[in-house]
C-alpha cells in the first residue's frame, strides 16, 4: 500500500498505496500530483486502486498485498506520520515514502527516523524522479527478499551441517570406543615379572597410533608400536587393518614359539604389513617397532621400520637408545629391516614413543631426542613419571597422536 499526497496548503491531500501490480490510492483524482503519480505507476505496470481516506487505506492494507506505501504528510483525516507509524507497526519491512513541501523539513527528518525509506518534494512534475524512487525501493525490496531467502537457505544449511557434525561426532565416538576395545589392557603383568603398559592420546577423536602385546608360550612376550601417517579416521582404520592382519597371521602360523624362528617371525610381520599397505592403495605409510622379550634367556629381539625416536633401554647404567635401521612400511617393496638383539639385566625398562612425543619438546630433532632421553633417564623408564615430565596428562590438545609404550622387569 502506498500513500501519496499532493497537498499544497489549501489543496486536498492525496494518498496512494502501491503493491505488486496493485496501487491503493487515497486522493482527490483531480490533483496534478495525483495525475503525474498515476501516470508513472501505470507506465511501470501498476494498477491503481482508489480510497477516500487514510483510515480506509490503513484498513485495506496488508503486507501480503501491498509492497510499498506512499503518503503525504498532510491527509484529510490524519497526519502522514501517523500513517507511517501504523504501517510500520503492521509491517516493519514494508517501505514507506513520504511526500512533503520544502517547508516541512523537520517532519521529513522525523519520518526518516520513524523508518521511512525515502521522500519526494511537491509539486510532482518530473516522472523520472518518481520512477527513480519507486524503482530504487523495488530493487531494495527484491534484494531484501533475496537476502531473506539466502538467510533461510544458510540457516537450513547450517542446520543440516550441525546434524552432520553431530552424526560425525557420534560416529567418531563409536570409532574411538571400538579402537579402545582393540587395545590391550594396561598395565598387564606377565610371568617372570614382565609388565607392559602404555599411554595413547589421540590428537583427534581417533588415533593413528596403536600398540599391542601378548604372551607366547611361557617365555616370549611379543609387542609392537605402530604409527600410521596422518590423523583421524583414515589412519585409525589402518591401525585396525594392521591389528587384524597380525591376528590373521597368528591364526595361520605359529609365531614366537621357538627361539630359532623368533627373528624370522619379526621379519614376517613387517613384510606382511608392508605388502598390505602397498597393495591397498590407501596412500598411507607407517613406522613400527616390533620386539620379543625372551624372559628365559634375558634377551630382547627387535626390529625398527622408520621408527623415530628410537626405543630406549633403561638399566642401572642409565638410559640409552637402541640401535637399528629399516625403512617405513608402505613406501618400498623391500624395507631392508634387520633384527637386532640386546641382552637384558635382571632389572630393566624399555620405552618406545611415537614421533608425536617430539612435538612436545623444543629445538631441532637432535635436541628433542636428547631432551627425551634425559626425561626417560630421570624417570627411570616409569610410564607415570615420564608422562608427568612430558605433561601429556594435563594438556588439552596435541598437534599429533602421542603414544608411549613401556615394558619393565624387576628382579631382586
Residues 290-311: tens digit of each pLDDT: 999 999 999 999 999 999 999 9
| DSSP-assigned beta bridge partners for residue 214 | 222
pLDDT of residue 27: 52
Q: Using the structure block, give the residue that is written with the C-alpha cell 607392559.
A: 196
* CA 29 and chain centroid, separation: 63
Q: How many other C-beta atoms can be found within 10 angstroms of the C-beta atom of residue 30?
A: 10
Q: How many other C-beta atoms can be found within 10 angstroms of the C-beta atom of residue 10?
A: 5
CB 308 within 8 Å of CB 225: no
The rounded distance, in Å, linking the Cα atoms of 178 and 230 is 19
CB 305 within 8 Å of CB 287: yes
pLDDT of residue 25: 53
CB 319 within 8 Å of CB 280: no
Q: Which residues of 310-323 are buried (b: 16+ CB within 10 A; e: fewer)?
A: bbbbbbeeebeebe
pLDDT of residue 394: 79
CB 51 within 8 Å of CB 65: no
pLDDT of residue 161: 87
The rounded distance, in Å, linking the Cα atoms of 346 and 342 is 13
| DSSP-assigned beta bridge partners for residue 286 | 228, 329
pLDDT of residue 337: 93
The rounded distance, in Å, linking the Cα atoms of 175 and 237 is 9
pLDDT of residue 7: 35
Choose among 328, 310, 316: nearest CA to 373. Answer: 310
| DSSP-assigned beta bridge partners for residue 15 | 26, 71
The rounded distance, in Å, linking the Cα atoms of 288 and 286 is 6
pTM of the model: 0.65
Instruction: For residue 187, say if its preceding peptide bond is cis, omega within 30 degrees of 0.
Output: yes
pLDDT of residue 203: 81
The rounded distance, in Å, linking the Cα atoms of 46 and 43 is 7
C-alpha cell read off for 400 = 599429533
pLDDT of residue 28: 52
The rounded distance, in Å, linking the Cα atoms of 58 and 340 is 95
The rounded distance, in Å, linking the Cα atoms of 134 and 128 is 10
Give the residue ranges of the chain where pLDDT is below 50: 1-14, 19, 26
CB 323 within 8 Å of CB 258: no
C-alpha cell read off for 298 = 634375558
The rounded distance, in Å, linking the Cα atoms of 191 and 205 is 34
Amino acid at each position: 500500500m502506498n500513500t501519496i499526497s499532493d497537498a499544497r496548503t489549501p489543496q486536498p491531500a492525496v494518498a496512494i498505496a502501491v503493491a505488486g501490480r496493485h496501487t491503493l490510492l487515497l486522493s482527490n483524482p483531480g490533483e496534478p500530483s495525483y495525475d503525474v503519480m498515476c501516470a508513472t505507476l501505470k507506465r511501470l505496470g501498476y494498477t491503481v486502486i482508489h480510497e477516500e481516506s487514510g483510515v480506509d487505506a490503513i484498513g485495506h492494507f496488508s503486507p501480503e498485498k501491498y509492497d510499498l506505501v506512499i503518503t503525504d504528510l498532510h491527509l484529510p483525516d490524519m497526519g502522514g506520520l501517523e500513517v507511517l507509524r501504523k504501517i510500520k507497526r503492521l509491517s516493519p519491512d514494508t517501505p514507506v515514502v513520504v511526500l512533503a513541501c520544502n517547508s516541512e523539513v523537520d517532519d521529513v527528518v522525523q519520518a526518516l527516523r520513524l523508518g521511512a525509506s525515502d521522500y519526494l518534494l511537491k509539486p510532482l512534475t518530473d516522472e523520472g524522479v518518481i520512477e527513480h524512487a519507486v524503482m530504487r525501493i523495488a530493487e531494495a525490496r527484491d534484494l531484501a527478499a533475496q537476502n531473506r531467502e539466502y538467510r533461510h537457505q544458510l540457516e537450513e544449511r547450517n542446520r543440516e551441517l550441525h546434524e552432520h557434525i553431530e552424526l560425525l561426532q557420534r560416529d567418531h565416538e563409536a570409532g574411538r570406543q571400538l579402537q579402545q576395545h582393540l587395545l590391550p589392557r594396561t598395565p598387564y603383568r606377565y610371568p617372570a615379572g614382565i609388565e607392559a603398559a602404555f599411554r595413547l592420546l589421540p590428537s583427534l577423536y581417533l588415533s593413528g597410533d596403536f600398540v599391542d602385546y601378548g604372551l607366547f608360550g611361557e617365555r616370549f612376550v611379543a609387542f609392537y608400536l605402530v604409527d600410521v601417517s596422518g590423523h583421524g579416521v583414515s589412519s585409525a582404520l589402518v591401525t585396525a587393518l594392521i591389528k587384524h592382519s597380525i591376528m590373521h597371521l597368528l591364526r595361520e602360523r605359529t609365531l614366537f614359539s621357538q627361539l630359532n624362528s623368533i627373528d624370522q617371525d619379526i621379519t614376517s610381520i613387517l613384510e606382511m604389513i608392508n605388502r598390505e599397505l602397498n597393495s591397498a592403495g590407501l596412500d598411507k605409510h607407517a613406522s613400527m617397532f616390533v620386539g620379543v622379550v625372551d624372559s628365559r634367556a634375558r634377551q630382547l629381539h627387535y626390529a625398527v621400520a622408520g621408527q623415530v625416536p628410537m626405543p630406549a633401554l633403561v638399566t642401572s647404567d642409565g638410559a640409552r637408545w637402541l640401535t637399528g635401521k629399516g625403512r617405513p612400511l608402505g613406501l618400498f617393496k623391500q624395507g631392508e629391516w634387520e633384527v637386532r638383539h640386546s641382552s637384558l639385566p635382571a632389572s630393566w625398562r624399555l620405552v618406545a614413543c611415537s614421533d608425536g612425543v617430539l612435538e612436545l619438546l623444543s629445538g631441532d630433532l637432535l635436541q628433542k631426542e636428547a631432551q627425551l632421553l634425559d626425561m626417560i633417564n630421570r624417570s627411570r623408564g616409569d610410564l607415570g613419571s615420564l608422562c608427568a615430565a612430558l605433561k601429556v596428562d594435563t594438556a588439552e590438545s596435541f598437534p599429533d597422536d602421542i603414544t608411549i609404550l613401556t615394558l619393565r622387569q624387576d628382579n631382586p
